[in-house]
């Protein structure tokens, strides 16, 4: 029995995700939308990720932000070995991985004295109170004044109804020994048998059915880490804010920008109740009740420093944005708690059309005669919504783009090389946004061939064939070279028309 795992699932690696909320430019954009000064992340800066999992986010962000020194820890040595292997394949010099626990990290001599950003995604709900205290101590000692923290966690009241389901699963898994995956499968099947037996817990909580159905289809590596740890605590936002206050942190806002837009999430009565509440953290707690929040992605600051109106406007004016989705795929709709909301055609369409021509500053966008003039409040709201929708990205300063491009090219080459064998990595790095852009395996194979002079279709087929793989159309695997090549050609033509222009604008192709 090992002790280093502290009750955390360690016999199965976590998924290889990239989380854009960890992006320096996005975090500073959240600060800006809340009228707060962020740390200078365009100059030399230091960034730390606590519990980095497979290290994909940190590796990608380090390649896309070579001016920032990235340090990341995760006590699972297999994950850190994998993260270091990717850093070595990409030749990224500004990234450092440690297989330390949170308590050990405090004593690592190679760390910078203090960080501008510390991020922890999917950690705080899955560790013991003792480990949370180590994290708070690390934040207290190692975050610079003016530095920011990104933290995500499971939230109450949204998790309340499903807490007994998690208990049912872990109790069942605890009655067995051996590898975790078969135990998860058995626990899920057991919960299913309880549901089929019409246990009142299931029949009287109708919201559980869709959650349980979705859960059954999720990768076991994800379920293991999400549900099967010894520690698992959903929090009220006020309780997290109180713990982080010990590290001198104060709440800034949610990095999930659409969640802060009242018009799409709260009805008039709800808005009135929130308006009457003067305390920002209590207001967030009430908001979580209004929308039955399950997961929060929040930004905190050590020492809030509000912008003046001129200093905020100076940043807004020169801030550059880029479209990261093909223009034709951007619907003028967003999803909020109240349902789908239509965006105002005359405001959003011209902005998106200008961005479809390439990244542009706010100043340049509003200089375009097609774009409707907006007052500052509406302008900030519009860009908050566009970034929150995930289609538009705030960009770091263009001055160092060439240096970023050198590193992202090497990182993307390492990722697309891996695509020859696996579809594990689903993001490429952009020197324009300093962030990740979704790219499935086929897009990666096409992109890799672009640079080699080979026919992308033939090359992609050669890769799939070497692994005995075939394409699937209408649910059926295609037989023979001809059918597979024809289907690949179709996919490539679509890729060239839709995705490739975006990859070009983002400095990826």
How many CA within 13 A on the CB side of residue 36? 22
Of 277, 279, 289, nearest to 236 (Cα)? Answer: 289
d(CA 40, CA 181): 44
Confirm if 320 and 398 have CB atoms less than 8 A apart: yes
Q: Which is nearer to ligand SAM, 42 or 49 (CB)?
A: 49
User: Which position among 59, 79, 92, 221 is part of the footprint of ligand SAM (CB under 6 A)?
Assistant: 79
**Please, are residues 224 and 166 in contact by the beta-carbon 8 Å criterion?**
no
Q: Pick the closer one to ligand SAM by CB: 20 or 404.
A: 20
User: Measured from the CB of residue 500, what is the shortest distance to ligand SAM in angstroms?
Assistant: 29
Q: How far is the CB of 79 from ligand SAM (least distance, A)?
A: 6
Nearer to ligand SAM, 37 or 166 (CB): 166
Binding of ligand SAM by 260 (CB under 6 A): no
Whether residue 140 contacts residue 247, with contact meaning beta carbons closer than 8 Å, is answered with yes
Contact between 14 and ligand SAM per CB under 6 A: yes
Residue 62 or 123 with smaller CB distance to ligand SAM:
123
Query: Does 21 engage in binding with ligand SAM (CB under 6 A)?
Result: no
Q: Look at strands 45-50 and 68-73 and give their pairing.
A: parallel
Q: Cα 262 from chain centroid? A: 22
Could you tell me where the beta strands, DSSP code E, fall in 352-391?
360-361
By Cβ distance, which residue is nearest to ligand SAM? 53
6 contacts ligand SAM (rule: CB under 6 A): yes
The site for ligand SAM, by CB under 6 A, has a size of 22
Identify which of residues 19 and 446 has a Cβ nearer to ligand SAM in the complex: 19
> Residue 101 interacts with ligand SAM (CB under 6 A)?
yes
- Nearest Cα residue to 422 out of 85, 148, 129: 85
Among 48, 64, 117, 127, binds ligand SAM (CB under 6 A): 127
Q: Is 270 an interacting residue with respect to ligand SAM (CB under 6 A)?
A: no
Under the criterion CB under 6 A, does residue 433 sit at the interface with ligand SAM?
A: no
Tally the residues of the chain: 509
Q: Using CB under 6 A, which residues numbered 129 to 168 contact ligand SAM?
A: 131
Near ligand SAM by CB under 6 A, which window of 116-124, 212-220, 295-303, 447-455?
A: 116-124
Helix H, strand E, coil C: the string for 66-132 is: CCEEEEEECCCHHHHHHHHHHHHHHCCCCEEEECCCHHHHCCCCCCCCCEEEEEECCCHHHCCHHHH
| 372 within 8 A of 347, measured Cβ to Cβ | yes
Q: By CB under 6 A, which span of 27-35, 126-134, 282-290, 367-375 interacts with ligand SAM?
A: 126-134
Name the phi and psi angles at 483, rounded to 5.
-65, -40
Q: Which of 75, 138, 348, 427 binds ligand SAM (CB under 6 A)?
A: 75
Residues near ligand SAM, by CB under 6 A: 6, 8, 14, 17, 19, 51-53, 73-76, 79, 101-102, 121-123, 126-127, 131, 225
């Amino acid at each position: 029995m090992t002790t280093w795992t502290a009750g955390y699932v360690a016999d199965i690696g976590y998924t290889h995700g990239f989380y854009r909320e960890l992006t320096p430019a996005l975090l500073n954009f959240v600060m800006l939308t809340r009228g707060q000064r962020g740390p200078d992340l365009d100059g030399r800066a230091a960034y730390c990720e606590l519990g980095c999992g497979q290290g994909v986010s940190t590796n990608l962000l380090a390649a896309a932000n070579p001016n920032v020194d990235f340090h990341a820890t995760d006590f699972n040595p297999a994950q850190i070995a994998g993260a270091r292997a990717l850093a070595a394949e990409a030749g990224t010099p500004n990234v450092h991985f440690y297989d330390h626990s949170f308590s050990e990290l405090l004593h690592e001599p190679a760390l910078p004295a203090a960080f501008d950003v510390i991020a922890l995604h999917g950690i705080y709900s899955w560790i013991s109170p003792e480990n949370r205290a180590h994290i708070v101590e690390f934040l207290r000692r190692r975050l610079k004044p003016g530095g920011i923290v990104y933290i995500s966690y499971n939230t109450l009241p949204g998790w309340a109804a499903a807490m007994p389901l998690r208990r049912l699963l872990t109790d069942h898994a605890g009655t067995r020994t051996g590898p975790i995956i078969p135990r998860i499968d058995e626990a899920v099947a057991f919960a299913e048998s309880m549901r089929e037996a019409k246990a009142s817990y299931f029949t009287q909580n109708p919201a559980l059915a869709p959650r349980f159905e979705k859960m059954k289809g999720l990768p076991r590596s994800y379920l293991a880490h999400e549900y099967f740890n010894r520690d698992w605590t959903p929090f009220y936002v006020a309780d997290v804010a109180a713990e982080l206050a010990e590290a001198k942190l104060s709440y800034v806002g949610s990095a999930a920008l659409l969640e802060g837009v009242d018009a799409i999430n709260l009805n008039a009565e709800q808005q009135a109740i929130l308006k009457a509440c003067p305390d920002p953290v209590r207001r967030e707690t009430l908001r979580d009740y209004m929308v039955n929040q399950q997961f929060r992605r929040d930004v905190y600051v050590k020492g809030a420093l509000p912008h003046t109106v001129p200093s905020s406007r100076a940043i807004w004016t020169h801030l550059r944005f880029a479209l990261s989705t093909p223009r034709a795929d951007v619907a003028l709709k967003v999803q909020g708690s109240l349902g789908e909301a239509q965006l105002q055609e005359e405001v959003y369409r011209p902005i998106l059309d200008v961005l479809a021509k390439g990244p542009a500053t706010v100043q340049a966008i509003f200089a375009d005669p097609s774009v409707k003039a907006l007052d500052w409040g509406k302008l900030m709201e519009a860009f908050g919504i566009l970034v929150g929708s995930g289609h538009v990205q705030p960009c770091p300063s263009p001055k160092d783009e060439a240096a970023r491009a050198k590193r992202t090219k090497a990182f993307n080459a390492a990722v697309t090389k891996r695509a020859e064998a696996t579809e594990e990595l689903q993001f490429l790095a952009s020197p324009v946004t300093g962030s990740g852009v979704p790219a499935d395996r086929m897009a990666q194979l096409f992109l890799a061939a672009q640079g080699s002079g080979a026919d992308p279709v033939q090359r992609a087929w050669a890769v799939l064939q070497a692994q005995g793989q075939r394409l699937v159309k209408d649910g059926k695997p295609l037989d023979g070279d001809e059918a597979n090549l024809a289907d690949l050609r179709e996919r490539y033509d679509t890729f060239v028309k839709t995705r490739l222009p975006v990859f070009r604008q983002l400095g990826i192709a």
